[in-house]
Amino acid sequence: MNVDVDSRPRSQREARGLVEITTPGVGLRSRPRHLVPPRTVAARRDALLTATMVVGDLVAVSTVYALALTPRVERSVLRHLSLHAAAAQAVYVTLPIWVAVLAGCGLYWRSRRVHVEMRRLVEAVSFSLAAVVVVVLAADIEVTAGWVAVVWCTCVPVLALWRITASKVIRRLQAAGVTGRRVIVVGIDAESRALVRSLTRQPWRGYAVAGFVDVSGGSFTGTLDGHRVWRSLEVIADAVSETDAGAVIVAASVNAENLLAVQRALQPVDVDLILSPGLSDTDASRVALARIDGLTLLALRRHRLGRRNAAVKRTLDITGSALLLVVGAPLMAVIAIAVKRASPGPVMFVQERVGRGGHPFRMYKFRSMVVGAEALLDEVGSANQADGILFRMRDDPRVHQLGRTLRRFGLDELPQLLNVLRGDMSLVGPRPALPSETEHYDARLHARLLVRPGVTGLWQVNGRHELAFDDYIRYDLFYVANWSLRLDLTVLARTLPALLSRRGAH
């Protein structure tokens, strides 16, 4: 069931150029329709956002320059870090240099670039300041090396803070459909559908899927995951025009001949073309472009979880789980008492799961279901709302009232910290699998068992129970192939906000 977020009649919405992009795919719960503005409106709003970014950057750099107007410190050690009044006022003429360099470094690209790339920002600040030094020396403005160092050290955090704040605002605007663009996906394979599910779950990225184009040559008819399907590349330009799409994404399954046909068809159309390399288990930081005699190649840096990295990860697990157990002990005691009073039976639920290397272990959770819930699975099995080999049911009658609250905020999983301390699990890792699941694993899925399962993971912070089974697997395999300490810390930092938002909770 689709629910309109705009109460105006459909004819009025269409008259204003708003197009309804619907569909939860497999594994997604029904969500309101996502309204996106027409391209002309979105372009004006993107220009306004870019102008706002420029003004914000100028204010940030001006603030840093204002710090040069310090009290007279000629006889202090600080004299090398400040400017006299005339020089402090003269350096403001270099403000346009910052805008030019930041633009040249691609930091004003599109409003949809919602992530702050610190490496690129640091490079832009360094280049900008180098250009400023050249200009002030040419203009015979007296500056000191200490002042240059202070400006660099101050500009990086100030600009980063401003851009992080701006990115959060842009995310909200794109999620609300204030800006963004429609996209058509070429291909109807598993990768294409996974991409569409991700864009549907994450409207803050600024893309709303308008439909698929089937290039398989098959006889597919109807809709796919609720989206319209065009059955030929010959009509792709018409599809772009009809849907007012601003981008076309070509899946990796599309062969070179069809890719060239897409490029030819879209040549006269003002639309961005985005190519998927099909590396769903590979982090972008590991990929670099290489060119050989007119051919474009992707160079993939090797990555493995060696002994040193494994030791670092285990140290983080022991330290983090011990600290969380100490801090969370009072809360866990309260939950244990509440579970005992809310439902007859034991406080803890112990279940066999499969760990690293395929070895079974006993996983602990606070009991959120009635006693004997596993024996009742056959009675509710027909109501399974999940795909693949998982079982998922909204409003599962086996879950007691307190259990619903515990599950909503992930509090039932706190005892898994004991599993982490024992070495059965990790703080971050793939979702712990049941033996009945691993029986169906092929060689590709067995890669999930190369590392310890996690209390939290990419599956937890990217949708939890909203995810299709294929997305669970995709996130887990991505984690195994691209582990890093930074990735673990990022997941841990995102876990609490994800739980508090209750997105994907059952």
Residues 246 and 169 in one domain: no
Domain co-membership, 167 together with 124:
yes
Domain's final residue, options 174, 203, 221 = 174
Cα 338 to Cα 252, 344, 348, distances in angstroms: 51, 11, 12
Q: Are residues 406 and 274 in the same domain?
A: no
Predicted pLDDT of residue 314: 93
Is 141 within a domain? Answer: yes
Q: Tokens 């040249």 label which residue? A: 104
| 127 and 157, same domain (yes or no) | yes
* 56, two tokens: 């914000």
pLDDT tens per residue, range 446-502: 888 989 999 999 988 887 666 777 788 888 888 988 888 888 999 999 888 888 776
pLDDT of residue 24: 42
Query: Could you tell me if 430 and 452 lie in one domain?
Result: yes
Domain shared by 203 and 327, yes or no = no
- Residues 332 and 401 placed together within one structural domain of the fold: yes
Please give the residue range of the domain that contains residue 124: 40-174
Residue bearing the bigger pLDDT, 35 or 485:
485
Domain boundary among 123, 144, 174: 174
- CA-to-CA distance for 67 and 155, rounded, in angstroms? 11
Write phi, then psi, for 456 (nearest 5 degrees). Answer: -135, 170
| Pair 102, 195 in one domain | no
Q: How many structural domains compose the chain?
A: 3
Mark whether 345 and 319 lie in a shared domain.
Answer: yes
pLDDT at 282: 77
**455 and 337 share a domain?**
yes
Q: Let me know if residue 445 belongs to a domain.
A: yes
Q: What is the pLDDT of residue 503?
A: 59
pTM of this prediction exceeds 0.75: no
Most confident residue range from 273-282, 289-298, 488-497:
488-497
Does residue 33 lie in a domain region? no
- Residues 447 and 322 placed together within one structural domain of the fold: yes
Residue 231 maps to which CATH number? 3.40.50.720
Position 139: which residue type?
A
Under a CB-based contact definition with an 8 Å cutoff, are residues 239 and 184 in contact? yes
Does some domain include residue 103? yes
pLDDT at 378: 57
Query: What is the pLDDT averaged over residues 176-203?
Result: 88
pLDDT at res. 10 = 39
**How high is the pLDDT of residue 85?**
60
399 near 368, Cβ under 8 Å? yes
106 and 156 both lie in a single domain: yes
Q: What percent of the chain has pLDDT over 70?
A: 80
- Classify 186 as helix, strand or coil: strand
Asked whether the beta carbons of 31 and 1 are under 8 A apart, the reply is no
Q: Which of 174, 199, 214 is the last residue of a domain?
A: 174
The dihedral built from the CA positions of residue 62, 67, 73 and 77, taken in this order, carries a sign that is negative
In whole angstroms, what is the distance from residue 49 CA to residue 117 CA?
18
Most confident of 7-16, 166-175, 250-259, 413-422: 413-422
Is 232 contained in some domain? Answer: yes
In a 13 Å sphere around the CA of 488, the CA atoms on its Cβ side amount to: 23
Confidence of residue 6 (pLDDT cuts 50, 70, 90): very low
pLDDT digits (tens, 9 = 90+) for 332-365: 999 999 999 988 889 999 999 999 999 999 999 9
Q: Do 87 and 143 meet the contact criterion of CB atoms below 8 Å apart?
A: yes
Which distant-in-sequence residues (6+ apart) come within 8 Å of 247 by Cβ? 181, 182, 183, 184, 207, 271, 272, 273, 274
Q: Which of 389, 402, 387, 406 is nearest to 466 (CA)?
A: 387
**Among the ranges 1-5, 65-69, 134-138, which has the highest mean pLDDT value?**
134-138
Q: Which parts of 26-92 fold into alpha helices (H)?
A: 39-66, 85-90
- Calpha distance 460→456 (Å, rounded): 6
Helix (H, G, I), strand (E, B) or coil at 295: strand
Q: Which residues touch 355 (CB under 8 Å, ≥6 apart)?
A: 361, 424, 425, 432, 449, 452, 453
Q: What is the pLDDT of residues 215-248, one digit of tens each?
A: 877 666 678 888 888 888 888 998 999 999 999 9
Domain membership of residue 29 (yes or no) is no
357 domain-assigned: yes
Tell me, yes or no, whether 287 lies in a domain.
no
Q: For residue range 359-418, what is the model confidence (pLDDT) as tens digits? A: 999 999 999 887 766 666 655 555 544 455 565 556 667 788 888 888 888 899 999 999
Please, which pLDDT band fits residue 293 given cuts at 50, 70 and 90? Answer: confident
